Amino acid sequence: MRVAIVIALLVLGSILFHIFSPWWMTPIASNWGSIDNALIITLYICAVAFVGLNLFLAMTLLKYRARPGHKAHYEPENVKLEKQLTLWTGLGIAGMLAPGLIAWNEYVTVPDDAAVIEATGQQWQWGFRFPGPDGVLGTAAVAHMSPDNSFGINPRDPYGRDDILVETNELHMPLGKPVKMVLRSKDVLHDFYVPQFRAKMDLVPGIVTYFWMTPTRTGTFEILCAELCGVGHHQMRGTVVVESQAAFDAWLAEQMTFGQMLAQNEATPTTQLAQADVKPMIGER
């Protein structure tokens, strides 16, 4: 009897917590409403199963409790009940999987007019690269990485010369334009995650991963690394600013291209800088 009451209160408490909880999804800032829908459908199918099964358990504890004049009846097989259970469980699982598979298919099917932005991850910071006027990112490889070329862009690839490099943790994006996010890791597994975009993807050393999205409202959002990537994992945060095309163009024009950076490095090689200004280099990588 007491256990039945506790179970019923647990169900009631869970429903009330869901209704009055302050911890709910942040307002969406991208086109991925289908990802929210897949989560909400999963949540409600699980809720129906949770409430139904627990109330059934409480009901059987009450109805079939030991009392004088009632004798247990042993029934090992019930084909009708098993068919019902198989049918409803199968429908529930299909209902949870299908919306996610549809959303995933859309998520990795990039529209032809999408602009390209590359996000690179390393312990424990983000960097970003835009393809420049030619619209094509230059090839990159770990072998090309050096203090003068932190993105590892192939210096002999003509497509790389006009690539625009952002070596801070702040990314800007134009509002309402589809973007293909191309992701590359320089060291270990990282994960690019902006909760308001509902978008998330692993950065895997050795391969290039991607997804696409369209920012649907202006604002400043946090970029998180959602993959435990070492002791500094919690510090691996960035910012994405979604703004008008004009503001974005002005910001992009201020950034340096790979060609400009090479020219600057030739004028003042890192070795000379190190000799001229030794103090700040000590203790740094």
Amino acid at residue number 142: V
Quick one: which segment of 4-12, 89-97, 190-198, 241-249 binds Cu ion (CB under 5 A)?
Answer: 190-198
Structure tokens, 192 = 């690019």
Shortest distance (Å) from residue 159 CB to Cu ion:
28
Shortest distance (Å) from residue 77 CB to Cu ion:
53
Q: Which of 38, 58, 140, 236 binds Cu ion (CB under 5 A)?
A: 236
Quick one: which segment of 58-66, 166-174, 230-238, 258-266 binds Cu ion (CB under 5 A)?
Answer: 230-238
Q: Contacts with Cu ion in 97-116 (CB under 5 A)?
A: none
- ∠32-200-29 over CA atoms, to 5°? 40
Helix (H) or strand (E) holding 256: strand 256-257
Amino acid at residue number 173: M
**Residue 225 binding Cu ion, by CB under 5 A:** yes
Site track 15-44 with Cu ion (rule: CB under 5 A), x = hit: ------------------------------
Cα–Cα distance for residue pair 233/188, rounded to 1 Å: 11
**Pick 220 or 235: Cβ nearer Cu ion:** 235
Quick one: which segment of 132-140, 183-191, 193-201, 214-222 binds Cu ion (CB under 5 A)?
Answer: 183-191
Q: Which of 163, 190, 201, 211 binds Cu ion (CB under 5 A)?
A: 190
192 Cβ contact partners less than 8 Å away, ≥ 6 residues apart? 119, 121, 126, 181, 183, 199, 200, 201, 203, 223, 225, 226
Quick one: which segment of 2-10, 73-81, 157-165, 235-243 binds Cu ion (CB under 5 A)?
Answer: 235-243
The size of the interface with Cu ion (CB under 5 A), counted in residues, is 4
Shortest distance (Å) from residue 171 CB to Cu ion:
15
Cα–Cα distance for residue pair 154/269, rounded to 1 Å: 18
Shortest distance (Å) from residue 44 CB to Cu ion:
33
Amino acid at residue number 148: D
**Residue 119 binding Cu ion, by CB under 5 A:** no
Site track 158-177 with Cu ion (rule: CB under 5 A), x = hit: --------------------
Give the DSSP letter string of 82-122.
HHHHHHHHHHHHHHHHHHHHHHHHHHTS--TT-EEEEEEEE
Strand ranges of the sheet holding 190-194, from the earlier edge strand across to the other edge = 170-174, 237-243, 219-225, 190-194, 199-203
φ, ψ for residue 32, nearest 5 deg: -90, 50
Quick one: which segment of 6-14, 60-68, 146-154, 236-244 binds Cu ion (CB under 5 A)?
Answer: 236-244
Residue 172 to residues 22, 76, 238, Cα–Cα distance (Å): 30, 64, 11
Shortest distance (Å) from residue 117 CB to Cu ion:
18
**Pick 158 or 230: Cβ nearer Cu ion:** 230
Q: Which of 183, 229, 240, 261 binds Cu ion (CB under 5 A)?
A: 229
**Residue 201 binding Cu ion, by CB under 5 A:** no
Per CB under 5 A, residues contacting Cu ion are 190, 225, 229, 236
